[in-house]
Amino acid sequence: MNYILHNAYINGQPQAEAVLIVKNSIVHVGSLSDCRHLAGLAGEEIDLGGKCLMPAFTDAHSHFVEYSKSSILVNLLNCNSIEDIATELQRYRAQLSWPAEWILGGGWNRNTLSNPMTLNKTLVDKVFPDLPVALFSRDYHAKLLNSKALEIAGWDQHTPDPPGGRFERMPDGSLSGVLFETATEMIDAYTKDPPNQVMVDSIKDRVQSIYELGLIGFHSMEHQASAQLLRQAQSQGSLFRTCWHFQAGELDRMIAQEKKSYDGDEFFKIGGLKLFGDGSLGSRTAAMYDPYPGDVENRGILRYHDDELYRLMEKAARAGLACTIHAIGDRCVRQIIDATMRLRVEPAYKNLFHRIEHVQSIRLSDIPLLKSSGLFASMQPVHIANDIPMIHQSWGHIKEEAYAFRSMLDAGIPYAFGSDSPIETINPFLGIYSAIKRRHLNNPRLEALNPNEGISVEKAIDGYSIGAAAASRSDMIRGRIQSGYLADLIVLEDYRKLPAEYWLEARSLFTMIDGEIVLNRL
């Protein structure tokens, strides 16, 4: 089907009247008469009612399968007390509709609990004494296991902490059931997901729901099994674009299969090797230069020694695979910069497109070095909303370096925006608001976080459109309303005439993927 879209403000093309779409591509952007002439009798005209036509959004950093699974697994995101968690576990057990071998899910947040140390295996054992349970924290950098799960893994008070991770221990030395960083990954060898089709159906349902959020695709930071589920959902008719970033344990297999970054097509593309450089602020495991307030011995966790990180990056780069590296603390960010600068000395590796993920804190003096490194900054503005209270209350010493968006953009650092869902909401409109206003979403009375680092609405939109496309080397064919680009489009109210608060409730009225209309509420 061919379409002529008209009577709208066209993002990036303010003088244009209409857009002609032939099959899956934008053929012409210009006057309505020219579009009609080029279309002949083959084009269906759609009047957009004076609204705003924009390139569709891509989430540059998500865990989409985990986000999809959250609708069928234990969901503790809204639990603010130990009692809430116990109630939700009991409710979940009562409504479980398939023969589960493991109870999975999570979303708990110790920072919101009045007595955080009571969150341990004993609480879970009361509800699930017979089934193994593994529940991730809100930031995914910790997991809570019950006694049955610890038993299956063979872990007890004598089990040593793994490199880059930690088993939390009770006063008597026994394991509490809470694991941190690399320790959380060790349980994955034992857990078992819900039935395959249940998982695929949850993906398809979630894809349908993101269309009204202006999203037509995402970068997924997950294991091979998750990538297979995404492909299966696509084979069953679910329409979305994804770029898959694989885990460290899959590097040797990718090399053996001679896979390269950006292999594939615009519906499924290989990204890079996903590495975790450090932890998170919420878990106090993000690697910082200065110690955490009230914990002078704790500067977070660096997952790799400098040489170890370089060797891993070099191994991937030698095989034609870019690196996608999680770095939240300012000390870890500098480590990634240094490793990348070292790697780029090698001429054969200069053209690879390495990414640094999150950059939630960076010393302002390191921003010129970040620019020189050539790293692409993939960031998630919506994290600001949840971090504001913690920064104001506990981490005032990093206030000036937290989410330094304007400073990084002014330095010319290439960037993309995402959500980190399901850790945060996948809604890009809330991300746009956060990038502009830097305020708490649910408590606007809280002081804005360093408002001088706020950016324009246009720059925020670019982060989810052309920036997210550039993050997968797709910016020559996606992310703009321009002749020769794929017809991935959305229609919003004309935000130029509305206050910034519009983004808090914004929804797409019309969404098109690859020339196919998947949502029309005009």
Determine the average pLDDT of the residues in 3-16: 95
CATH number of the domain that residue 135 is part of: 3.10.310.70
Helix (H) or strand (E) holding 12: none
Mean per-residue pLDDT, 326-337: 97
Q: Is residue 89 part of a domain?
A: yes
> Are 22 and 5 contacting, i.e. CB atoms less than 8 angstroms apart?
no
Q: Do residue 431 and residue 288 come from a single domain?
A: yes
Could you tell me if residue 378 is inside a domain?
A: yes
Average pLDDT over residues 191-206: 92
Q: For Cα atoms 505, 136, 322, give the angle at the middle one, nearest 5 degrees.
A: 80
Query: Which residue range forms the structural domain that includes residue 431?
Result: 196-478
pLDDT at 396 over 70: no
* Residue 390: Cβ within 10 Å count: 12
The pLDDT assigned to 386 comes to: 79
pLDDT at 216: 98
- Give the percent of the chain with pLDDT over 90: 77
Question: Do residues 284 and 391 share a domain?
Answer: yes
Query: Over the stretch 129-149, which tens digit does the pLDDT of each residue have?
Result: 999 999 999 888 899 999 999
Q: Indicate whether 68 belongs to any domain.
A: no
How many of the other CB atoms lie within 10 Å of CB of 28?
18
* Residue 62 forms part of a structural domain: no
Is the pLDDT confidence value at 115 over 80?
A: no
Query: Which is higher by pLDDT, 399 or 395?
Result: 399
For residues 393 and 433, membership in a common domain is answered with yes
- From residue 233, how far is each of 196, 202, 209, 213 by CA, in Å? 11, 9, 14, 20
Residue 112 has pLDDT above 80, yes or no: no
User: What's the pLDDT at 280?
Assistant: 87
Regarding whether 369 and 222 lie in a shared domain, the answer is yes
Mean pLDDT, the chain, whole residue set: 93
Q: Which range among 17-26, 172-181, 387-396, 484-493 shows the weakest confidence by mean pLDDT?
A: 387-396
168 and 116 within one domain: yes
Residue 67 included in any domain: no
What CATH number does the domain containing 335 carry? Answer: 3.20.20.140
Is there a domain that residue 258 lies in? yes
Q: Both 292 and 249 in a single domain? A: yes
**Tally of domains in the chain:** 3
Q: Is the pLDDT of residue 394 over 80?
A: no
What predicted TM-score, i.e. pTM, was given to this entire model?
Answer: 0.86
Residues 221 and 309 in one domain: yes
Distances (CA, A) of 261 to 264, 334, 485: 9, 24, 22
